[in-house]
Amino acid sequence: MRRREFITLLGGAAAWPVTVRAQQPGKLPTIGFLGTSTPSGWSQWTAAFMQRLRELGWIEDRTVTVEYRWAEGRSDRHAEFAVEFVRLKVDVIVTGGNAVPAVKRATSTIPIVFTLGADPVGAGLVASLSRPGGNVTGLSVQRTDIAGKRLEILREVLPGLHRLAILANVDFPDSVREMGEVEATARTLGIAVAKLEIRGARILSPPSKRSRTTRMHFMSAATRS
């Protein structure tokens, strides 16, 4: 099946290919659905996805099969599930977030649809937004592209802005790229930047629950000189 034969979108619309690859007798087309969180955490998105499929005539267990896998916040499981989907020979893989690179490494032939990619071009997932190429497609929120613009607007609102603190999860590649874009724009505007790097949720817990050695004092996101 060619990538251009289908578009699958979560939130606004979802679609399934009009034609699929030749199936074994009695075998339904199969979607590999890899959630980065838990079933409850993705319940709204999953419900919207399945509703749209039904509207298009694709009924679970009647005209299409869905293989769900849930990483439960563990990024180390993305590659494991991606390999499993390849072994199962699913017809398309739907996923999102930081699971996409692992799935892309697992297959160059099974179509991959991602939801709300922050910077698919910068992440090397697609060649360009207009012509993705390869077997990966999806939605881009262009978060990295507009990160610098947001800072420019903030400077217009606060002309006296001269120092900026960036709080980011450096274990999440999209956050690192967005932070880099903000830093680059800040340099052109003459704004000093302090980076506050997060590695795990523990660092954000209340001070009473942290030891003195891990206690951090966060500066405000923006201060006037």
The 10s digit of each residue's pLDDT in 84-109 is 999 999 999 999 878 888 899 999 99
Domains of the chain from N-terminus onward: 3-140 (3.40.50.2300), 144-224 (3.40.50.2300)
| pTM of model > 0.75 | no
The single residue listed with the structure tokens 């954000």 is: 204
Q: Report d(CA 20, CA 99) in Å as an integer.
A: 24
At 57, the pLDDT band (50, 70, 90 cuts) reads: very high
Q: Report d(CA 23, CA 30) in Å as an integer.
A: 10
Our CA dihedral for 24, 26, 29, 32, rounded to 10 degrees, sits at -90
10 Å CB burial of residue 186 (0-12, 13-18, 19+) is buried
In 3D space, the residue among 136, 35, 47 whose CA is nearest the CA of residue 92 turns out to be 136
Q: Are the C-beta atoms of residues 64 and 33 closer than 8 Å to each other?
A: no
pLDDT tens digits, 135-150: 888 777 666 667 778 8
CA distance between the termini of the chain: 58
Q: Report d(CA 104, CA 70) in Å as an integer.
A: 17
Task: Give me the long-range contacts of 22-26 (CB less than 8 A, separation at least 24).
Answer: none
Mean pLDDT of 180-198: 84
